[in-house]
Amino acid sequence: MDIEFLNNLTPATVGLLSASLGVSALVYKWFTRKHVDGSYLNDPEVIRTDIPPAVPPGQKMAIDSIPQVVQRLRNAFNAGISRPYIWRIRQLKALKKMMEENRQEIIDAVYKDLGKPTLEIFFSEVNLVLGEIDMAIDHLAEWLIPEEVNTPVSAAPATSFIYKDPLGVVLIISPWNYPVNLAIVPLVGAIAGGNCALLKVSRHSQHTGALLEKLVTKYLDPRCVAVESEGGAPTITKLVEPKYDHVFFTGSVNVGKVVYAAAAKHLTPVTLELGGKNPCIVDKSADINLAAKRIVWGKFWNCGQTCITADYILVHQDVHDELLDALVKWIKKFYGEKPKESPHFARVISKQHVNRLAGLFKCGDVVFGGDVDESQRYCAPTIIKNVKLDSEIMTEEIFGPVLPVIKVRDIDEAISFVTTRPLPLSLYFFGKDSKQEEKVFKNTRSGAAISNDLLMHFTNKQLPFGGVGESGIGAYHGKLTFDTFVHRKAVLKSTAKSVFDLPLRYPPYTPNITWLVDKVTRAGIYVNKHLPIPQ
């Protein structure tokens, strides 16, 4: 065949030549392709009596034993204990049983630590967790099935898949403000992904931490899951020293930096669920009464100790005074004239934090609240106006029931205010003007953006929950929690039969072959995974 003739071939002819490669790939798939039907879900449970618990029965995890605990977890993973589907499902069902059988104990423990109303506890600490467990149980088989993807003709004859491999041994560090949810939900993903896990719960929520250590050790496989609940900063420093295959941290930015630096020494990937100063923009088009009602509810839920709650308000100057009046009105409606006596208002985690919050009252003019009772770990729901923008209340995350309100001329000033500061975990907008809403959402960056409500995006398992920039790395909830704890491995299965081995890629490269390969690979033709092929 003359090369000039080849160069003058019509696109239709080139397509025909390319299609011949596709036909070859289909013939190969017809006769030799191994169908991935999920039969691997029937892999038997690994019985290994020689693998001991990560923490010896009846003992606490001592700080100097951490390297040994991590190694025992790795031995269990390497033995394949956590990989079979049946093991994962049994552990998830055991976790569900743990939550259901000990519901009242969990509620009592969280109440002792944070004084949360029962509704807040079962909503955020029990039911949301059970929803995540149920979703994992219901969909795990579906999530585990390798995804077949299209294969380029240039790789033919072959089939291509994405496998979901366990990462290995993971470290989960959870905080005190939602001590059950933020510990157990990541653990659901770690177990569903087939990993072994070391769970570090906060010592500040001591009653919940001690309960979780007892229950997790009782209900889950102690060879593959270990819990530590009593250690402080020295323990965390030791915990992050060994090599893990993933570190999942929820907490402050400062501690997150320490965790990130330790993980970087081993090139360990991380998920960092941090906090930040979340803005709440109130436009002049807002229903001020509804906005105030929802802001007060969301801000003072869990006594303001929520990483995604509004940290400060930017309100249009035309409705500034009206909003302040409405905020005070709804505080009184929700918690009465004396919020300290209300059973619906939670408590601050510690006396130290009460004193810290009290120090913020001087950063502006107190409109409502502004009192504390250290002995009861009480800080009043507090509204502050005329805020000093260079003061601590606007440079550090508040993490408590103190709400600064800042007046702005217009939406452009609010956007400028937000974009010149570290990226927040959440951004809130209240208003009826959809154009202003879109303007805010399109011209700011945040982990999440919510209009006319607070907090509720956290309850949707279909939405990613996570930060951006200074507010975090990675996201989870629902299937994303499973995805966080697996590696999406590329798998290409080529022919083992010489009859289907195409000679085009092998030297010597003749001009004709070079021309044809150039045309075919440039055309970007794929063998469609959806073509009906007999098995």
Which residues are marked as active site? Answer: 273, 307
Distance, in Å, from the CA atom of 184 to the CA atom of 106, rounded to the nearest integer, reads 12
Is the peptide bond prior to 503 cis by the omega test (within 30 degrees of 0)?
no
What's the token pair of residue 62? 């001592």
| DSSP-assigned states of every residue in 307-319 | TTS--EEEEEGGG
Q: Which residues are within 8 A (CB) of 392 and not within 5 positions of it... i.e. 6 or more apart? A: 359, 360, 363
Distance, in Å, from the CA atom of 348 to the CA atom of 397, rounded to the nearest integer, reads 15
Distance, in Å, from the CA atom of 82 to the CA atom of 226, rounded to the nearest integer, reads 13
What is the chain's Cα-based Rg?
28
Distance, in Å, from the CA atom of 343 to the CA atom of 334, rounded to the nearest integer, reads 10
Three-state SS string over 211-228 comes to: HHHHHHHHHCCCCCEEEE
Q: Which residues are within 8 A (CB) of 280 and not within 5 positions of it... i.e. 6 or more apart? A: 295, 310, 311, 312, 313, 314, 427, 428, 429, 430, 454
β-sheet bridge partners, residue 491? 161
Distance, in Å, from the CA atom of 105 to the CA atom of 108, rounded to the nearest integer, reads 5
Helix (H, G, I), strand (E, B) or coil at 246: strand
- Residue whose C-alpha is closest to residue 251's, from 171, 175, 347: 175
Distance, in Å, from the CA atom of 124 to the CA atom of 122, rounded to the nearest integer, reads 6
Distance, in Å, from the CA atom of 23 to the CA atom of 408, rounded to the nearest integer, reads 66
Sequence letter at residue 516: L
Distance, in Å, from the CA atom of 231 to the CA atom of 256, rounded to the nearest integer, reads 17
β-sheet bridge partners, residue 314? 281, 406
Length of the chain (residues):
535
Q: What long-range pairs does 391-396 form, CB within 8 A, spacing at least 24?
A: 391/362, 391/363, 391/364, 392/359, 392/360, 392/363, 393/312, 393/360, 393/363, 393/364, 394/277, 394/312, 394/363
Greatest Cα-to-Cα distance within the chain, rounded to the nearest angstrom: 95
- Residue whose C-alpha is closest to residue 201's, from 176, 169, 233: 176
β-sheet bridge partners, residue 319? none
β-sheet bridge partners, residue 488? 164
